[in-house]
Amino acid sequence: MDDDPNPANRGQSGAVSSPDSNGHLERIQTGIVGLDDILGGGLSKGHLYLLEGDPGTGKTTFALQFLLEDLRNGESVVTLFTLAQHGFTGNMDTLIEVSYLTDTVLLLRYFEFRGEIRQALSVLKKRSGRYERAIRELKFTNNTVAVGEPLIGFKAVLTGVPNYFGEPSKVENCSAA
């Protein structure tokens, strides 16, 4: 499946670390539209998560959304770390390296497209279960956070200055258009 040309179908398998009584990994919903799907069904109970990205990319909003959803469901079994990076585009620098301590790393990144600053999300690592490796646009509105469609046809989104290589007629229909 990792050879699938559609990035939404690619993923990585790993060991399942906290199964329920039926042998299934217990999941917690994030409350963010589309995020549970790319995480293979939601957050894994008892795991550590790192939200990494430039200032203003949505790390705190994500963390608060996770916490609100936990409160709605009476859950409190996920640990979140946030780490701000330095450099809004190009090379990403952090003062400390903590990704090896966490089970899952979510990268939030700015990118420019057609004169507008946007945000993208990617799952860089997940130690247990399947996850999607596509880079997707994040959409923040007044009341919701949503994960958009994969940024297909783009190259170098994580540098902050992507190039669009898709069909010219489809640029208006792509998630970032």
- Sole residue written with tokens 């959304």: 65
The rounded distance, in Å, linking the Cα atoms of 78 and 106 is: 14
Mean pLDDT over 145-150 rounds to: 91
Q: Which residue type occupies 3?
A: D
The predicted model scores a pTM of 0.75
The rounded distance, in Å, linking the Cα atoms of 54 and 143 is: 22
Q: What is the pLDDT of residues 18-45, one digit of tens each?
A: 455 555 678 888 889 899 999 998 888 8
pLDDT of amino acid 168: 61
pLDDT of amino acid 106: 92
Domains annotated on the chain, with CATH: 7-170 (3.40.50.300)
- For residue 15, pLDDT beyond 60: no
- Candidates 31, 78, 84, 24; CA nearest to 58 is 84
Q: What is the pLDDT of residues 31-88, one digit of tens each?
A: 898 999 999 988 888 888 899 888 889 999 988 888 888 888 886 667 888 888 765 5
Out of 18-22, 80-84, 120-124, 143-147, least confident range: 18-22
Q: Which two tokens stand for residue 154?
A: 């783009």
Question: In this structure, are strands 145-150 and 79-84 parallel, antiparallel, or unpaired?
Answer: unpaired
pLDDT of amino acid 68: 87
Q: Which two tokens stand for residue 157?
A: 């989104």
